[in-house]
Amino acid sequence: MSKRIFAVGMALLFVIGFIGCGDKIDPEEQYQADNLTQGLGALAMMTNVDAYSGYSSDGPGLATPPWGWSGPFGYPDIPEGTDTLYYEFVWKLPLDSMGTVIDTLIWLVMPNPDVWGGDTMPWIGIDTWIIGQTRNLIYFHTTFTINDTISVAGSLKWNWEDTYYQYEFDVMQDPTDFQAEIDITTSANIGLSAQFRIDTDGSGSETENYASWNSTTFVRWEFYVRGAQEYDGYYTLLSEGWNVRHYFNLYEPPSA
């Protein structure tokens, strides 16, 4: 379970990066627009609830913490503040070939409900951190909850001292539909934000699907009703005066 969740979190973060806005066509602006667009396909694939629905407290390896894990313990110094108990896995990061240690890395996990602590309800979510013991302002934090058989909501945050990226999502997916509410925010020194609102038929208007840099919108997306057009939609760029449509198809994983 933990490996899968870690992969989801790390893979989703690739859609966030540094962008720039200007008065002329900006290749970096288009590159970031492409990344954000294709990130939606990755999100649809990795938040497929069917992939998690088989997990429960009596599933293999879930009734108790795996080897190397201990707890649960309280962590009052977690930066965002919480009184939640977590199971932990600890390892030290060597700095050089002499084995000088730069920090102790802690992986914290609390399943919801606490199937590792004896709760017998089916597993429906998780709260997990990867954080430095000494440099605790460097961390990755993710939570998500399976609301029902076809939807999942959660938050992913990568923080490096005063710099952070946060990705919040509420996604519904079944074999024919993908509905999403997604918000991306970053620290002031990056200045990137984005919003996606996609309806169950696949459509979404430019007024609700856009990204900004330092409060200036630089890209807008229009999503078509699923299957109604050759493409899934298009985006336009501020640096092109909103006059050029860049058509796209969202990535879909090959069928089993």
DSSP per position, 202-254: S-B-TTTSEEEETTEEEEEEEEPPTTSSSSSEEEEEGGGTT---EEE----PP
- Whether 229 and 113 map to the same domain: the answer is no
Show which of 118, 147, 176 is a domain's final residue: 147
Residues 116-162: tens digit of each pLDDT:
888 777 778 888 888 887 777 888 898 888 877 677 888 888 898 88
**pLDDT above 90 coverage of the chain, percent:** 7
The answer to whether 153 and 125 are in contact (CB under 8 A) is no
Q: Is the pLDDT of residue 50 over 50?
A: yes
- Whether 20 and 85 map to the same domain: the answer is no
Residues 12-35: tens digit of each pLDDT:
333 333 333 333 345 666 766 776
Predicted confidence band at 58 (pLDDT cuts at 50, 70, 90)? very low
What element of type H or E holds 39? Answer: helix 27-46
- Whether 34 and 158 map to the same domain: the answer is yes
Q: Is the pLDDT of residue 95 over 50?
A: yes
- Whether 113 and 167 map to the same domain: the answer is no
Q: Is the pLDDT of residue 6 over 90?
A: no
Q: Is the full-model pTM beyond 0.75?
A: no
Domain count, the chain: 2
Q: Is the pLDDT of residue 182 over 90?
A: no
Show which of 147, 172, 194 is a domain's final residue: 147
pLDDT given at position 146: 81
Q: Residue 84's domain spans which residues?
A: 57-147
- Whether 247 and 166 map to the same domain: the answer is yes
The pair of structure tokens assigned to 210 is 């856009």
- Whether 64 and 183 map to the same domain: the answer is no
Show which of 147, 181, 216 is a domain's final residue: 147
